[in-house]
Amino acid sequence: MVSPELIRRFPIFSGLTMEQIISLAKAADELEVERDHYFHHEGEELNALYILLDGEVTIVSKLPEREREITIHTLGAGDVFGWSAFVPPYAATAGAKAVTRCKVIVFDAIELRKEFEADCQFGYVMMQKIALIIRDRLNTLRIETLAYSAG
């Protein structure tokens, strides 16, 4: 469990009740990893949501024909990743790799999915937050694709 006060600092959790914040805190732990650690690989079952407290993480995807990874997005402190843990079939749409030593909050998505089912309002608000993350990532990818195409 992490401190509910730590959880409350992040914009993704704005609008939640203190009871909901406590539920999130109970489903969370802090984790430190070394550089080059993979939080998950593309296609793997994903049962954790992460908030980066310190360090840098890249979201990566494999180019199958070339057997190499490309960086899709680079994340810093305060960024959230692993949103696929809340969208069926709960499989990672990309990999997540530590570029530096990192400290994260890791949320047990299996436990939280149960909480969201029991408290539909909680689940609804959190899915809106997850949708915003997805929207922002797609927008960033769109802009980068346009820039690449124009160059």
pLDDT of residue 23: 96
Residue pLDDT, tens place only, 83-129: 999 999 999 999 999 999 999 999 999 999 999 999 999 999 999 99
pLDDT of residue 130: 94
> Is residue 56 pLDDT above 80, yes or no?
yes
Q: 12-16, 31-35, 46-50, 85-89 — which is least confidently predicted?
A: 12-16
> Is residue 65 pLDDT above 90, yes or no?
no
pLDDT of residue 78: 95
Tokens 């899915």: give the residue. Answer: 127
Q: What is the pTM of this model?
A: 0.90
pLDDT of residue 151: 65
pLDDT of residue 68: 84
CATH 2.60.120.10 fits domain 29-150: yes
SS (H, E, C) the chain: CCCHHHHHCCHHHCCCCHHHHHHHHHCEEEEEECCCCEEECCCCECCEEEEEEECCEEEEEEECCCCEEEEEEEECCCCEECHHHHCCCCECCCEEEECCCEEEEEEEHHHHHHHHHHCHHHHHHHHHHHHHHHHHHHHHHHHHHHHHHHC
